[in-house]
Structure 1
């Protein structure tokens, strides 16, 4: 019986998504060289407004998984949350989209990459479509309706 539970646990661990660490240079590549339309949500596990809107992003991402758009959750959690706390959060909340953790303590190094007007508050969302020459930055909470609208505008 113990073997069964051990194997079950191993299978779950093997299929559970893991958060990936990136630095400011890799963030720059993600933001400036998108190969498809991108929705990047900046969030943290301790941010109540972020947690409120995450299900909307994940639901839309799953609905659009066959469309030319990628959803990325970029965690701005502190270093002590990486990886265990963030991994636990994404598992508990059934996040299947890509989750990245920004390993950059100097906000000045990455804030201007995200948007020159960004003051660092979260949640925040970036909508990018190189093909449509579309870039929109939304500081603060976004409604489910506005999220759908922005994604539609990138794909039209």
Structure 2
């Protein structure tokens, strides 16, 4: 007689390999999910964007914006003013965007004029993503900035991006200028602000429409709003 304790039914013999395959498959899915999360997690994306920015020559930072920077008032374009008035703080203008590219320029800055078409194209590329281009003019009034925008870009009111003016203009109180509070002494410069922190600075004019820049923008601004 066969000892029941040593008998194996056909169904049990077949079931064991099936269960092992299910366990192995489940483990592979878990490990694959963890690997994908590591690659596409916000931290990993931020680190990748930082590496790409450095390769493009940007200075890297990781500091919070100061209260002085955040509370700097900026003048909205006359055609963009709201019911609350014609000024808004940097803090208000950052709201609702995971990343904002703060660009400092002026009509009296020749390199700025050369870069303006690239900045307008950058604003277009960032549209629909979680990024915003905030172009801050240091002209003494909107008339000078508008004349330059019309001459270089064909119209004073740009369809993409947010174009504002620092009320201190060119020769106002330097202690109150946003560019100097951020650390910009020469124009043009562009700062990358993400999640309330300064992450990078691009010094001087850039070719924002280059393939490398577009890849960086996709890494910095990966999704839709």
CA distance in 1, matches of 2:150, 2:105: 16
Shift of residue 89 of structure 1?
2.3
Counterparts of residues 64-83 of structure 1 (less than 5 Å): 64-77=126-139, 79=140, 82-83=141-142
Residue in 2 that maps onto 1:107: 174
CA distance in 1, matches of 2:105, 2:96: 23
CA distance in 1, matches of 2:78, 2:125: 19
CA distance in 1, matches of 2:191, 2:216: 10
Q: Name the CA shift for 1:106/1:125 in 2 (closer, same or farther; >3 Å).
A: same
Higher relative contact order (CA 8 A, sep 6+): 1
CA distance in 2, matches of 1:112, 1:43: 13
CA distance in 1, matches of 2:80, 2:189: 19
Work out the number of aligned pairs and report it: 130
CA distance in 1, matches of 2:181, 2:95: 14
CA distance in 1, matches of 2:80, 2:149: 8
Deviation digits for residues 69-120 of structure 1 (CA, Å, limit 9, x no counterpart): 111110012x2xx1212122223413333211101212233345323xx3x1
Range that drifts further, 120-129 or 134-143? 134-143
Shift of residue 152 of structure 1?
3.0
Which protein is bigger by CA-based radius of gyration?
Answer: 2
TM-score using structure 2 length: 0.48
Q: 8 Å contact 1:128–1:135 — kept in the other structure? A: yes
Counterparts of residues 3-152 of structure 1 (less than 5 Å): 18=79, 22=87, 26-27=89-90, 29=91, 33-36=94-97, 37-77=99-139, 79=140, 82-92=141-151, 93=153, 94=155, 95-96=158-159, 97-104=161-168, 105-110=172-177, 111-115=179-183, 118=184, 120-130=185-195, 135-144=199-208, 145=210, 147-152=213-218
CA distance in 1, matches of 2:108, 2:186: 13
